[in-house]
């Protein structure tokens, strides 16, 4: 296997892990939708209508991105969508940190109690940076594994 082949394989495997994490986050939100909805009430910079829509659409989109990724459907677009979503969430979270303090983040549904034991302020942003970093190699390498169907 060539050096480029190794890099491409590594990028795909790293992206697989990120997509599994994203899918798991969506599933855990769906399992405990009431708690996810409650946590979104602290996101006061986001209009109420958008928070209400996010309760349903965020976990569905996370699970859908995971399914599309592992179904090998237009992986380039799926990765771009996941990066865009994570960057948007991180920007909104950062705005909250600066303007009104950290909102609740129960991004992993039932696992929120474990996550609350950590400093969520910076952890959420660093987690999202790590997830984006896990997808960027796939986008940068532009492997021949685009999953176009």
More confident residue, 142 or 16: 16
- Is the pLDDT at 131 greater than 80? The verdict is yes
Confidence of residue 101 (pLDDT cuts 50, 70, 90): confident
The 3-state DSSP class for residue 102 equals coil
* pLDDT of res. 149: 45
Q: 25-48 as b/e, with b when 16 or more CB fall inside 10 Å? A: bbebbbebeebbbebbebbeebee
Is the four-CA dihedral 149, 12, 65, 76 of positive or negative sign?
negative
Q: What is the mean pLDDT of the chain?
A: 85
pTM beyond cutoff 0.85:
no
More confident residue, 56 or 106: 56
How far apart CA 18 and CA 62 sit, in angstroms, is: 11
């Amino acid at each position: 296997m060539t050096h480029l082949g190794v890099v491409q394989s590594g990028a795909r495997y790293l992206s697989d892990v990120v997509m599994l994490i994203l899918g798991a986050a969506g599933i855990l939100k769906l399992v405990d939708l009431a708690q996810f909805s409650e946590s979104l009430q602290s996101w006061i910079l986001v209009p109420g209508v958008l928070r209400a829509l996010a309760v349903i659409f965020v976990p569905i989109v996370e699970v859908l991105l995971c399914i599309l990724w592992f179904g090998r459907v237009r992986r380039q677009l799926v990765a771009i969508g996941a990066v865009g979503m994570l960057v948007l969430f991180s920007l909104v979270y950062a705005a909250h940190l600066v303007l009104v303090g950290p909102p609740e983040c129960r991004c992993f549904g039932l696992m929120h109690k474990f996550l609350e034991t950590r400093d969520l302020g910076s952890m959420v942003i660093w987690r999202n940076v790590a997830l984006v970093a896990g997808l960027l190699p796939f986008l940068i390498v532009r492997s021949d594994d685009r999953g176009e169907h």
